[in-house]
Structure 1
Amino acid sequence: IADFELKLMQIESEHMEIPEQHYKVVARLPSSEFQRICRDLREFGETMQVKASKEGITFSVQGDMGAGNVLLKPREADKPEDKVSLTVHEPVTATFALRYLVNFSKAAPLCGSVELGLGPDAPLLVKYDLENSDNGHMQFYLAPKIDE
């Protein structure tokens, strides 16, 4: 006969509330393409610059091994999940830790497209609407890297 006893831990943690954001740029693109971009650019460096304007959204990485840039321009498609759309109220450039974006992009199989929300000095929103919108959505937020 074995007898075990565990003491309960009381962990105090503050509840983080995320304020409602009105992003200057909202991009919608195929989730598989976002996943491929994050994985490909991870080979070149640790931080990714995202630059969005009316012409398109550019993902850039510069590192010791070299540099990589991917430009996505708005495009129409037969299937809604292959479409790339951009809503730009003002151009935005921000830099983010790529390792977290790679982790966020692992949710790509849940949904055909991903929504990115960008704003100056605002966290990046990575939002996946689940295949059946009645099932809800999954949102990730990532604070931009601050130059020191």
Structure 2
Amino acid sequence: MEKALLALSYGVHVIGSRAADGTLNAMLADWVMQVSFKPRLLAVSIENDARTLRFIRETRVFTVNLLHEKDGITIARKVVMPSEAKKVRGRSEEMAAQVIDKLADIPYGLHENGCPVLDQALGWIACNAVQFVEVGDHTLVIGECVDGERLRPGEMLIERDLGWEYGG
């Protein structure tokens, strides 16, 4: 079964979020898909202990940035690790206390909802969180699409292009 699940293809996205106090975050996400036309809804699967999920629960807004096939890997490498170093097992107490600003070296602007929109994305979609569905070790965040734009031509980066796996 695991090998069959690993054969599924996923796009590579950066989920932009903000906390109630204005703190910004970016998270790499593979499990994103449109789930409705009317209204236009997206589902994003986020680990239950993720900072991004906490922020979205607080503010009920987020952005989905589609990474570009040509240079999205550079952005993916910058945001793949958790912002909160304590999520990585085996770190020293000092290292675990660190919080990394994954947006520090990535050009971005802010959508009117206050969430990051990456300048070098293929495109982006702004969403209002309308539902949270617990599904095992993840939560599906259902977002109503309220705005979006395709920024440049090309195709979306897919997980297989990275040589990474998040599935199985």
TM-score (normalised: structure 2):
0.27
Bigger Rg, structure 1 or 2: 1
**What TM-score results when the alignment is normalised by the length of structure 1?**
0.30
RCO higher in structure (CA 8 A, sep ≥6): 2
